[in-house]
Amino acid sequence: MKTTRLTFLSVMLCLATMAWAQTLEPNLKWGKPTDAELNMTTYAPDPEAEAVVLCGQTVLRYDLSSGSFKLIRSTKKRIKVLKEEGKDKANGAISYMYNGHRLGNCEQLVKLKATAYNMVDGKLVKTKMEGDMVNHEDVNKTVRLTKYTVPQVTVGTVIEVEYEIESDFNYIDDWRAQSDIPVLYTSFDVTVPEYFTFSIDELGGYPLERKIEDTNMSMSVGTGNDKLLCGGRHYQFIGRNMPALRKKKLLYAPESYGQRVSMELSAVQIPGRVYKNYSSTWANVEERLLENSEFGVRIGKNPLKTEMQEAGVADIADPVERIMAIYSLLKDRVKWNEKYTLYAESAGKVLKERSGSNASINFILINMLRDAGFDAYPAVMRSRDKGILTVSRATVDELNTFVVAVKVGDSLHYLDGSVEDGWLDVLPDHLLVDRARIVSKEKPVEWVDLSKLSGGKERSMVNAELQPDGTLHADVQTKFSGSEAASLRREFRMATDSATFVSKLAQELNCEIESLTLGGHHGYGQEVERKMHVTKQCDAAGDMIYLNPWVLNVMTENPLTEEQRTLPVEFPYINTENLTTIVNLPEGYVVEDLPQPLVLKSDDGALSCVIASDVDGSTLSSGCQIQIGKIFFAPDEYPIVKNFLDEVCKRLQDVIVIKKAP
């Protein structure tokens, strides 16, 4: 995947919003909202906006303390609440690296204040946030989350939030100009001493105003009047009228495609100290991971060696069956705690608590597989719901989890500790990334593509009898494999009971289910088989019956409803659906006319559909095959995908007229 570039549509949108901006100028003064800000009721460029960032300012500066540089990050934001849904902007969270005992490098939240401004009976009322509306939560050993709630926020409120973080680290996090609500004005202001070298990238489809210039800096040294004078570099980025990055159907992480500035620290050279090169490659990242006590050091002894011997795992001849037996044994001992992590807790702790993150389970799995004679490695990644992995930026910060790669013959196969319903190579859709990196000293390959890994297949055969009153009785046999099988297992597992499962399915298929049996729906396996006998009522009037030949609702509506879209389309997994129906007509009835066959295929072959019907005497046969051969479609491919789904949905609603012969 590649970061989207500026499209014609985004250019036109920018021009339109720039024209509107002349009516509302950004207010760069804090503590006093303007009348225009207080009285605005809608945001003209985006009438659907529930709130808008009127002004955002982030200023980064370096300072000296005890002979070491510190990075001070000051953030201010003013938000206007326009609709009821926008009231949740009163709640915020700030994440930072924290160590309560101040041992080693960390960050501290040194300032946090917020105020709500409301017009009440024609007067401006200010309400400040009190300390009891701020809570601190330690996410893990090093990360703290400070949550806050701004009081007295309603539709029409202007919120101002200001906070400052003091960091012992010299690196600079990415700055994002866009958010889930539109932004009228935002700026990023950084002054870097001459001792630090950064490589800077601007990514996204809405270029920022930028200003870069040399400057002189003066920083206090100690508690006296001594100053450090040095040269520096001043960077300023300004974004105006930035559109919202809203959640959309068939899109995992819209923020990945927003405008942002990335500043990667490449070197530090302070007079009197050793030059330090921070430039990193993915090989460097691997080395650090392999040396990390919560990652590479976790690869070692098999903690379930005895259990594997007692289960006779070594006696299973087929390697795939042996791998899945190992996985099943592990999952019987440890349940996934619904957390995805990169680092793991100790195997002893996880086995004692019988619960762990996917990473914690995965390291135990790697050790079990290696003990059984398999080559097994972590395959690190940035999951799809966390955004695109920036391959050009070699840093562990780009990663958030990993899956297990295991070698069988000359091929690599994949498993993850979060899988409850799948099989080998059947992963949750948000782990189907196009770039995962094998971490191993004896590396078989470097980068692997998992995007086509967990293909789903659904094959249905319908044999039906049509009655003169329009009643259709059908026997339906469907085989699900890959991700489709995992999805059905998950639905069955999550249902309150089997009756609820059947009732929901009947509603989805718009029919009455008289009997249903499932096979392979418990545990792990390659396929699930479903057999049903269903009854469905077709429209009938006089001697005419109006039949939709598909019986099952294959695809009823297109999830892509926008005429234009500047963001990509991401399907969960590649997929193939095959449906064959055979309908025996009532005696004395004939088909009046058949729809024309449909053959659709995109230029790259990633999308295809074939639909056709035929009649032989009193038997109507229909076939449909729909194939989605890749999961990612760039913004300029949106019309192709939308038109394809529009046409398929339309043709699957075809009605065949059955009439009594004269």
List CB contacts of 519: < 8 A, sequence separation 6 or more. Answer: 528, 529, 530
**Minimum mean pLDDT range among 386-395, 410-419, 566-575:** 386-395
List CB contacts of 347: < 8 A, sequence separation 6 or more. Answer: 298, 303, 360, 363, 364, 367
- 505 and 578: one domain? yes
**In the structure encoding, which two tokens stand for residue 506, read together?**
């009947």
- 287 and 271: one domain? no
- 316 and 177: one domain? no
| pLDDT of the residue at 223 | 62
pLDDT above 50 for 423:
yes
Q: Is the distance from CB of 542 to CB of 499 less than 8 angstroms?
A: no
| pLDDT of the residue at 5 | 36
DSSP track, 62-97: EEEETTEEEEEEEEEEEEEE-SGGGGGGGEEEEEEE
* The residue to which tokens 């041992």 are assigned: 103
The Cα 183–Cα 53 span in angstroms is 5
- 327 and 297: one domain? yes
Domain boundary among 410, 428, 448: 448
pLDDT above 80 for 348:
yes
| pLDDT of the residue at 23 | 60
- 110 and 64: one domain? yes
DSSP track, 351-395: HHHTEE-HHHHHHHHHHHHHHTT--EEEEEE--GGG----TTS--
* The residue to which tokens 């989207």 are assigned: 4
- 35 and 76: one domain? yes
Give 301's strand partners: none
pTM score: 0.86
| pLDDT of the residue at 401 | 97
Give 448's strand partners: 436
- 521 and 627: one domain? yes
Q: 3 lies in a domain?
A: no
Grade residue 67 by pLDDT with cuts at 50, 70 and 90.
confident
Instruction: Encode pLDDT of 19-59 as tens digits.
Output: 444 467 899 999 999 999 999 999 999 999 999 999 999 99
Q: 531 lies in a domain?
A: yes
Which range of 149-153, 204-208, 395-399 scores highest in mean pLDDT? It is 149-153
CA angle 375, 381, 383 (to 5 degrees): 130
**Minimum mean pLDDT range among 81-85, 130-134, 150-154, 386-390:** 386-390
**Residues making up the chain, counted from first to last:** 662
Q: What domain range is 90 assigned to?
A: 8-277
Tell me the pLDDT of the chain averaged across its residues: 91
Q: 2 lies in a domain?
A: no
Q: What is the CATH number of the domain that holds 525?
A: 2.60.120.1130
pLDDT above 80 for 542:
yes
Mean pLDDT in residue range 180-195: 96
| pLDDT of the residue at 224 | 64
The secondary structure of residue 56, as a DSSP letter, is E
pLDDT above 70 for 103:
no
For strands 196-203 and 158-167, give the pairing: unpaired
The Cα 286–Cα 530 span in angstroms is 45
- 402 and 468: one domain? no
Instruction: Encode pLDDT of 138-148 as tens digits.
Output: 887 778 999 99
| pLDDT of the residue at 2 | 37
pLDDT above 90 for 189:
yes
- 272 and 305: one domain? no
- 259 and 382: one domain? no
| pLDDT of the residue at 104 | 57
- 404 and 462: one domain? no
Q: Is the distance from CB of 128 to CB of 118 less than 8 angstroms?
A: no
Could you list the beta-strand ranges (E) of 194-292.
Answer: 196-203, 209-220, 227-242, 260-268, 276-277
The burial class, CB within 10 Å (0-12 / 13-18 / 19+), for 358 is buried
pLDDT above 70 for 100:
no
- 68 and 136: one domain? yes
**Number of structural domains in the chain:** 3
The secondary structure of residue 424, as a DSSP letter, is T
How many helices and strands in the chain, by DSSP H and E? 10, 36
pLDDT above 60 for 101:
no
| pLDDT of the residue at 26 | 92
